[in-house]
Amino acid sequence: MKHIVAVSDKKQLGKFIDFPHELYKADANYVPELFIAQQDMLTPGKHPFHKHSSLQTFLAYDGERIVGRIAAIQNNNHNTINGVNDGFFGFFDCINDQETADLLLNTAANWLKERKLDTMVGPVNFSTNDICALLIEGFDGPPVAMMPYNAPYYLSLLEKAGFHKKVDLRAYRFTAGNYNDRSSKLVTALQERLTRSNIVIRKINVKNFKQEAAAIREVYNKAWDKNLGFVPMTNEEFDYTAKDLKMIMDPDFCLLAEQDGKIVGFALAVPDINQVLIKIKRGRLFPTGLYKLLTQKSKIQGIRILLLGVVDGYRKMGIEACLYGLIIQAFQKKKMTYAEASWTLDHNDLINKPIEQIGGELYRKYRILEKNLN
């Protein structure tokens, strides 16, 4: 008989984190999340999200066998900043069974209703600053760094449970030699033009990482403030994320646009660490995972262009093209084979058209869904 258990201790949390490994053990494209990172994220006191918001994780059982998991999430900062009353669901994984999916989703919905929230949005793991959305097109390979992955049947489970599209997200792929590198060739001219406005583009100073990260945080929160459902990171949340990114970051792919010492834009591409994580069994760093992480990081052949933002008043000056061009130059110099630009909003032509013009291939789509709780 199927039933739900609310996760309430460390042992159950371990089972919650490990469930996807069982579900996808025959799927060659599945990339396990690092266990320690997931444990910290979901443990109050470990991740700064828990200082302003709350969640409850649940496991679905069929007899003694785990058949699904979900988290019900109340993100107070999201609701305050956007003037909404949303609830989220995240960390959703389920066998291909509608009864199980309904049981999980209804349990999460009831938790959100008890907190008088009006809508249920997801999958979103805390906020759109974190891993979010459902893969709906492009199941032919592993996800790149910090992008979601799920079986194709998830969309049907959610739609039959009453969820409908809120927004679609896009991922574009570039392959070596198969893109327009005009912006790369124009970098020198673009930089000279920007210099006349006292704007310079430089690599991040890793030795002064803390101060650099604080400046980037300010730009990040300003540059994305009009994006759908965006919620600025708290200082602690940004520092937490920056600390994680620093471990995989390549300074050649972290660029800052600066005018008279003030950061006005930045771009960040990260090595596709999933090329290594896919080989780390069940996301465990010990006994062999850490060795693989340390020794194989230099062999990564791809990047994810994760962020590119310019604050109001500095857009359309050529900063964006210059940042892209410098990333392409670094990509070429390192003889990498692929890059993914992700994610972008489906309707954001201001970003999507330039990506397509330089040869980006729309190869994956993701969806955030919602359902009214009233």
Q: Residue 41: which domain range?
A: 2-169
Give the pLDDT confidence of 197-210 residue by residue, as tens digits. 899 999 999 888 88
Please give the mean pLDDT across all residues of the chain.
Answer: 90
Structure tokens, 265: 């834009």
| Judgement on whether residues 200 and 108 belong to the same structural domain of the protein | no
Q: What angle do CA 267, 268, 274 make, to 5 degrees?
A: 155
Give the pLDDT confidence of 255-286 residue by residue, as tens digits. 999 999 889 998 999 999 999 999 988 988 77
How many contiguous H segments (helices) and E segments (strands) does the chain have? 13, 13
Give residues with Cβ within 8 angstroms of 286, minimum separation 6: none
Paired with 344 in beta bridges are 170
32: cis peptide before it, omega within 30°?
no
User: Does some domain include residue 198?
Assistant: yes
User: Does some domain include residue 34?
Assistant: yes
How far apart (Å, rounded) are the C-alpha atoms in residues 128 and 122? Answer: 10
- Residue 32: name the closest of 293, 212, 288, 283 by CA: 283
| Judgement on whether residues 105 and 199 belong to the same structural domain of the protein | no
| Judgement on whether residues 158 and 210 belong to the same structural domain of the protein | no
Whether 111 shows a pLDDT value over 70: the answer reads yes
Average pLDDT rounded to a whole number, residues 36-44 = 93
User: Does some domain include residue 373?
Assistant: no
| Judgement on whether residues 99 and 11 belong to the same structural domain of the protein | yes
| Judgement on whether residues 179 and 136 belong to the same structural domain of the protein | no
Q: Out of 110, 134, 169, pick the residue that ends a domain.
A: 169
| Judgement on whether residues 156 and 223 belong to the same structural domain of the protein | no
Q: Out of 143, 169, 195, pick the residue that ends a domain.
A: 169
Whether 91 shows a pLDDT value over 80: the answer reads yes
Give the pLDDT confidence of 307-330 residue by residue, as tens digits. 888 888 888 788 888 888 888 888
How many CB atoms lie under 10 A from the CB of residue 13?
A: 17
How far apart (Å, rounded) are the C-alpha atoms in residues 94 and 129? Answer: 24
| Judgement on whether residues 190 and 262 belong to the same structural domain of the protein | yes
- Residue 53: name the closest of 146, 119, 117 by CA: 117
Give residues with Cβ within 8 angstroms of 311, minimum separation 6: 219, 222, 223, 264, 265
Give the pLDDT confidence of 325-351 residue by residue, as tens digits. 888 888 888 999 999 999 999 988 877
| Judgement on whether residues 15 and 131 belong to the same structural domain of the protein | yes
| Judgement on whether residues 311 and 361 belong to the same structural domain of the protein | yes
For the chain, strand residue ranges (E) read 2-6, 54-62, 65-74, 86-94, 119-122, 134-137, 164-175, 199-203, 254-259, 262-271, 302-310, 338-345, 361-372
Domain count, the chain: 2
Phi, psi of 223 (to 5 degrees): -70, -25
Give the pLDDT confidence of 214-260 residue by residue, as tens digits. 888 888 887 765 566 678 888 899 888 888 888 888 999 999 999 99
Structure tokens, 72: 């019900």
pLDDT at 180: 63
User: Does some domain include residue 371?
Assistant: no
